[in-house]
Structure 1
Amino acid sequence: MPHRYPMREIARQAGVSEATVDRVLHGRPGVREGTVLQVEQAIADLDRQRSQLRLSGRQFMIDLVMETPRRFSSMVRAALEAELPGLRPAIFRARYHLHETWPIDDLIATLDGIARRGSQGVVLKAPDTPEVAAAIGRLTTVRIPVITFVTDVPMSTRMAYVGMDNRAAGATAAFLMCQWLRHVDAAVLVMTSSEMFRGEEEREMGFRAAMRRGDPHRRIVDVSGSDGLDVTSRILASAALQEDPTITAVYSIGGGNKGIAGAFAGADRTCEVFIGHDLGPSNRALLRSGHLTAVLHHDLRADMRRVAQTVMSYHGAVAGEYRPQTSEIGVITPYNMPPD
């Protein structure tokens, strides 16, 4: 029996040949397990986006390429797919290339593969390295616009950056920390997932600069390399707490907040102020339980609208040149959380 989607649609979504899709759909041998999963994921993506397939209008296929914890990529994916119907009469579809950790050579191979296959745009969250900048250049050469998301690769040919002003976000965290620790003698633990992401570096720079102005004698303890994962974050935070008994506050730049909270609980230590980023399910639960003091949040659906408008502007589908504004920085507490 014919599949509910044409093979060419599945192949386009999966980024493989129609022959490969045919072998997967009919259970024939000779297909790697990873490719089978890729085709199955493409069909699941089409199921979620099928309302777009019935629309008439200009069609855009974009690729989301992100090295980020699953909790954040799931939020971005949900935000994009929630925005798709509102983009009518334009029809947007998306292919996803999402990894929690990603060897740089594999990431570059994915970007070069998109350059060969074609795309109307790449939304990229990746380390700021010369290799990534060069791959962006190759995409630009074949007229595929690259929009960096959340973290920038400024010394590249990327078309635009979408996300918050990360220095301002770090400074906002420092302002709150100074107010809430005014009468507390404590060192502040600053945790990042990696030293390779420009957005995290800028948040830390903004935080340090504002702390020097507002509370110059406050000691800051840096810990990096968590990959934003809860397990790694707990291990690193536990080691920091064991080494320094004065740490009683945290600015979590790269995530892994459940693990950090677990480290404080395991050490039987109180965290006076705990500021994190992004309003996902885990951070919502930590806010409700009182473990997180505040979360710096930006509206991902608004970000996805900016991405779509940038792509449409590049391809001449909207009048005039569109330049996305930076995202508004929201300070979320347990008492002003927006609906899920």
Structure 2
Amino acid sequence: MAHDFLVKDIAFQAGVSTATVDRVLNGRAGVRRQTEQRVRAAIGELEKQQGGLEVQSRKFAIDVVMEAPARFTETVRQAFESEAATFMPSVFRSRFHFSETMRAQDIVSHLDRIRLRGTDGIVLKAPDVPEVSLAVVRLEQAGIPVVTLVTDLPNAPRTAYAGADNRAAGETAAYLIGERVAGAPATVLVTLSSNRFRGEEEREIGFRRTLRDRYPQANLVEISEGYGHDAATGALAAKALASHPGINAAYSIGGGNRAVVAAFKAAGRSCGIYIAHDLDAENLALLREGAIHFVLHHDLKTDVQTVFRAILNRQRPRPAQGSRLSAVEVITPYNIPARIG
């Protein structure tokens, strides 16, 4: 019976003496059938444990592919680098492929190159379009796990999604704005970076539905395709403010907040409540300045942990665990997390 384990380890696992294990391994008589089966089962269990340790001590090279503004991708980079140390003895080394704007065909070409080169996993923030979903199909068929980050690709066979419940985040924003306006007329400027991202779409759906049901007196003015860039988003916000003199609140789904705040100031308009997403350096400063009132924040470190677990589970001889959504926190100037502030 071939094995790589010490007799004493097998005996401990099986709960029998070393002499009994020796008799079983050498095919000697005098061992009951049940005891022999217990020894063989113990060896099987040790083999499973050894396989798990081999996976846990492996080095994983993963690729993080994202279309997002630099202020957000820098926060993502920091989260991956800090959380890698918490998964020892497994070693995760991340290769980052960031761009503020990427055409869908460029993302697909990049993913196909990574697939042909080889990788232990891909973390992806990309538009929810058919060609990107097909690229994910090719990756998964090649045995490469794909984990979507922050915004999902629900029509693609990805391994897991790592992020918050975006629809619930939008509902939370609607509740905060509705309670602030307290039945008075309100027109909310809703800003998206692009309507191609499923996560932003989910936030908007949750926001619109809750505002319509609970606060029907509120009106919405939407701008998009500024891609979170200050110049483009600021220009769109200035145009909306000029066309809609009733705008007195803002829900920023897609970023570019300093430019939007500047557009309100340039127009000589006040913003009774401003809600943004993600506690990056820019939003943290705006929150402390009082330029924005609430930040809906979720911990990217939790998302990174979900990524690492999903990739590890693909290597283990057991069913993968389900994705764990990161919690959405309502941050004010008075409860900034110590780990950030």
How does the TM-score come out when normalised to structure 2?
0.82
1:291/1:184 Cα in 2 relative to 1: closer, same or farther (>3 Å)?
farther
2:13 alignment counterpart: none
Q: How does 1:106-255 map to 2 (within 5 A)?
A: 106-182=106-182, 184-255=184-255
Deviation string for 1:176-203 (max 9, x for gaps)? 0100111542200111011100000110
Deviation string for 1:22-56 (max 9, x for gaps)? xxxxxxxxxxxxxxxxxxxxxxxxxxxxxxxxxx9
1:300 alignment counterpart: 300
1:286 alignment counterpart: 286
- Secondary structure at the counterpart of residue 112 of structure 1: helix
1:263 alignment counterpart: 263
User: In the alignment, is residue 274 of structure 1 matched against residue 274 of structure 2?
Assistant: yes
Counterparts of 1:323 and 1:123, CA distance in 2: 16
- Secondary structure at the counterpart of residue 101 of structure 1: coil
Counterparts of 1:233 and 1:136, CA distance in 2: 30
Q: Contact 2:62–2:119 at 8 Å: present in 1 too?
A: yes
Q: How does 1:71-82 map to 2 (within 5 A)?
A: 71-82=71-82
Q: How does 1:5-24 map to 2 (within 5 A)?
A: none
- Secondary structure at the counterpart of residue 207 of structure 2: helix
Deviation string for 1:260-281 (max 9, x for gaps)? 0010111111010000000001
The list of structure 1 runs, each at least 4 consecutive aligned residues, that deviate by more than 3 angstroms after superposition, is none
- Secondary structure at the counterpart of residue 308 of structure 2: helix
Unaligned 5+ segments in structure 1 are 1-55
User: In the alignment, is residue 333 of structure 1 matched against residue 309 of structure 2?
Assistant: no
Letter of the structure 2 residue corresponding to residue 137 of structure 1: V
Letter of the structure 1 residue corresponding to residue 336 of structure 2: M
Q: How does 1:29-40 map to 2 (within 5 A)?
A: none
Counterparts of 2:245 and 2:88, CA distance in 1: 56
Deviation string for 1:101-158 (max 9, x for gaps)? 0122211111001110111111100000000000001101110011111111111111
Counterparts of 1:321 and 1:101, CA distance in 2: 33
- Secondary structure at the counterpart of residue 322 of structure 1: coil
Counterparts of 2:217 and 2:179, CA distance in 1: 14
Counterparts of 2:227 and 2:169, CA distance in 1: 20
Q: Which has the higher Rg, Structure 1 or Structure 2?
A: 2
- 1:257 to partner: Cα distance: 0.5
Counterparts of 2:144 and 2:319, CA distance in 1: 19
- 1:216 to partner: Cα distance: 1.1
Counterparts of 2:181 and 2:150, CA distance in 1: 28
Counterparts of 2:174 and 2:332, CA distance in 1: 16
Deviation string for 1:245-270 (max 9, x for gaps)? 10010000001101100101111110
Letter of the structure 1 residue corresponding to residue 204 of structure 2: E
Letter of the structure 2 residue corresponding to residue 328 of structure 1: A
- 1:232 to partner: Cα distance: 1.2
Deviation string for 1:203-247 (max 9, x for gaps)? 000000100111012111111111011111111100000111100
- 1:320 to partner: Cα distance: 4.5
2:3 alignment counterpart: none
Counterparts of 2:268 and 2:185, CA distance in 1: 18
Counterparts of 2:111 and 2:181, CA distance in 1: 44
- Secondary structure at the counterpart of residue 61 of structure 2: strand
Q: How does 1:100-111 map to 2 (within 5 A)?
A: 100-111=100-111
Counterparts of 1:321 and 1:104, CA distance in 2: 30
Letter of the structure 2 residue corresponding to residue 295 of structure 1: V
- Secondary structure at the counterpart of residue 219 of structure 1: strand
Identity over aligned pairs, percent? 46
- Secondary structure at the counterpart of residue 65 of structure 1: strand
Counterparts of 2:333 and 2:184, CA distance in 1: 22
- 1:84 to partner: Cα distance: 1.1
